[in-house]
A and B are shown apart, each in its own frame.
Chain A
Amino acid sequence: MIGTPIFDVFSTLLAGVNHASRFNDGGALAAGAWMIPVVPMVMAFLIVFFGKRSPWKGWVMATGTMLFVAIYGMALFLMNLVEGITYQGSVWLSDVGTTAFGVLNVEWGWMVDGLSIMMYFLVGVVGVLIFWYARGYMEDDVRYTWFFASFTLFAGGMLVLVSAPNLIQLIVGWELVGVSSYLLIGHYWEEHQNSSAAIKAFMTNKVADVGLFVGAIIIGVSVGSFRFSEILGVVEGESGDSTLAKYAFWAGLAIFIGAMGKSAQFPLHVWLPDAMAGPTPVSALMHAATMVTAGVYLIGRLFPFYMNDLFASDVRTVIIIVGAATLLLAGLLALVQDDIKRVLAYSTLSQLGYMTAAMGAGAYTAGLFHLFTHGFFKALLFLGAGSIIHAVHSNNMSDMGGLRKYMPRTFWTFLIGSFALAGIFPLAGFWSKDEILASIQYDASHGGGAVASTVLVVAIIGAFVTALYMTRTVYLTFFGKYKGDAHPHESPKTMTLPMVGLTIGAVGLGALNIPGITTWFTDSLAARFVAPGDHHATSIEWVLAIIGTAAALAGIALGYRLWHRDAAIQRDRDTFRIPVLYPLLENKYYIDDFYMGNIIRPVRGPLARAVDWFNSHIIDSVVNGAGYLARGLGKTVYLFDQRGIDGVINVSGFAASFAGGMLRLFQTGRVQHYAIMIFAGTVFLVVGLIIF
């Protein structure tokens, strides 16, 4: 009884915990952090079954869960600021195998270190504000309870992902995020284009997951363990002749392909703009704290692996180029959108490009700091956009204009969010973007070479473009005359208060990490089992800060010139028409068309049909042909037999006519009759065997 697997788990729950401590082990707070992923996962199920009967039809359960995560995350965050926590807990679930690869250890664990604590904090705090907001926004939704169940699952999946101490659990969380985003993007599945957008998101991620799977398998098998602590232990040991080092480039590249899917990097970015089909709170959470941050998080998690020259440091060149391409190309796309959510979506892509480029430049702290601050102001912008959409019943900026008079609170918070995004001093975005620029500059002079120098220029141009499209958005939305048909009004307090909360973050969080003055964020993020080994600025780079600010101001100035006047009546000037570039931007660089026309349609159409045809016309025809051939043979032999030739022929004649008889079933349909014969024959043979 005791040996039965189900009973063992209880004992391992108590005994299987392990931790190593370079910093503080976090005590009971860290040991209990398993609740951070588990509570939302369990709650998501409970809401499905009991939500409708609970207060506020499941909203209390969902938001209470997020509040719990937020408070727990905040407590850990503060504690980590004070003394740095590294803790790793695990529950052993199963062992598989012993020979070729060693033992595959299936375990459930929770990581409590600087990186995951930052994510707990971000997901929890931003999450609870968005959940709060969603009560007002989703009020009349047909599937209100279901929405909060899948929303909780979405946040829970992300928490499973960031709490994972090993690659397998990370994959579990990774896919949970994917599937819940599929549910949420397709929330209004009555319309075909929404479910198509959901499928597009899932499939694009699935393509990238091939990379993640392959990379995880290579790393796991090479190291003999999927645990980050052991993988990075091998890296720290710097043994260039290890199996991991041998495959490090390919493994690193494969993992990065996985990250490109979730973090929507060029050219796997196509799903993110379409993901706007989901309700706005979903977009807010997806673009701020969960899902798109997962890829950057993963690179951060494996950072020493990407930093070490004996391992995957060559991949960083790929990473920085992909990041730079994304930040510029997506930023340009944001210039020509009419749908306000699409503007923000492309802006997210662009900002993710910054983060990725920073990771590629070896700037662990800078990249993740931007991830952190961006989480706040992007959530703020999305909630603002949602508030506007709620008021004017349209996503299109051509139906907006002049809204600052009708919705002042939305206007002011949105404006602050836009300035933060554009990187205006002293808002949070300024500090994080500046640190990225400084890191790329450092990389350019420390081995990054011409690539990094080019990326630096691209990043500065990107800052200009960012300011330009945000200025455009603000003018088209809030200035000029109102162009729509609805009666715009300020949103209720349940919606505006969370926006105010996020505004505080967008304004003040830069103070966590001012080079040379405060190092709170840097220090807390450095609480890792294996030191990330990055470079971070220790003083403000004045020249870069001034250039970056100048680029942003120039963007605002140009935007002002282009859109401030007559924006109310001049629909023609809503879009930014540069002769050569515009058709390219309008068609999203033809990438979606390329995928659709050259991959998806051919596979789903001609190729699939060809395989089906091959199956029924070739393989099956061989089978059917053999059947009919045998029957024909049977008939011939039977005729031969009937004409009086006996002896040896009789035997084969019997066999052949038996076969012929069976095959005649193709036409007669008297299946019972013949089947009984077969049955009798079989029984006869079996009985014969027993007797003899």
Chain B
Amino acid sequence: MSSSDLVSFVLVNLKRMKLRVSLTILGVVVGTTAIVAMVALGVGLQSSFSKQFLSIGNLNDLTVLPSNPNKGGPFNSQVKEVRLDDKLIREISKIDGVKSVVPQIDIGNVSAKIQNHKANSVSIHGFSKENPVELAGGRLPRRDDEKSVVISSKFGSSFEGEGAVSGSSLIDKRALLKITRSTDNGSQEVRRIRVHIVGIAKEKGTQEDYGSIYMPVGFAKDIWLWQQNTPNLIKREGYNLLKVTVNSPTEADSVQKKLEGMNLFVFSMKQMLESLNVFFKVIQAVLGAIGAVALLVASIGIINTMIMSIYERTREIGIMKAVGASNKDIIKIFLSEAGFIGLAGGIGGTFLGWVLSKSLSVLAAFYLSSSSGGNGSPISFIVPLWLAIFAIVFATSVGLIAGIYPALRAARLNPLVALRHE
């Protein structure tokens, strides 16, 4: 029996029990829709989490802390803490694949005055030439000593007692920074620095967007050392954190291994993202399994429909056997019918699941985006191509598997008994 004969034969057979076949297909459609929508939710969650995650940093970055907790460090005084000093920075810079090493410098206790706007609780962050802050407008400072800075995207919203001022209107303005430190005798000292605002940073979606000032790390280091007020601070205690930037994400793992070999604790975005992805794969599998329960129920429907149809067509099976159909032909016919039900339901369900995912995404965006600060909806449904193909193949396989028992039953019928069936 050729494939094209089989197809036309199966279509003729299915056509005469239209209502029953349609209802059975509907069951598969519901099951497939459930799987597609559920997994689409998982994929959407993964995508929006990854996006948020990558806005904090990028895959080329490694953050280095003084010691390796696996080998002791802060939790085990027996291992000597490695100091993050300038000598170590030079050492790390020599590792293959490392593009730059800069200390991470964050300064608090700062206030800023721009014309007559005043912002308290400002923080200063240093950045390196190799790994500068991303700009939304303006330019970066040209040299370390230029005393030029970049302000965060929502800096204009952090002024005291007034409404938001547009960030771009602050570009090219002068700002007066007031840095406060405590002295040994308990009194406070203030240092005033005039800076020139030359750029505005891209929105990060974190608290840093409000009231942050970015400046070249050399400039920031001067201010930090003054504020810490400890002689030989770097030689005696070292920096808190180092930011290592590698040439490409593929080199991140090997660099991380070497740094860990130097008794340092390394936190890498890449590794975090990888474990996040594993977590989301599990979430998707769990969501998909919940959807698969509906398809399992539909497969019982397929078995039921096929057994009914075989019962009604027993005599026909006898006729086909009498005129020379082999058991294999009979199996092929009934398996194909069940497989077709699965395929049709799979295609319908994938389409419906896609439509449902689109509509739910729009709904979620409508109801949730206002509360999440306009940065897109945290919940979206995404149907990637692999999911669509998987859903159709899976539904067809479920149909075929559901058809095995009825098809074998049909093939095993004794032709004479089948012919006498009324």
A binds B: no
Q: Name B's A-contacting residues (CB within 8 A).
A: none
Q: Name A's B-contacting residues (CB within 8 A).
A: none
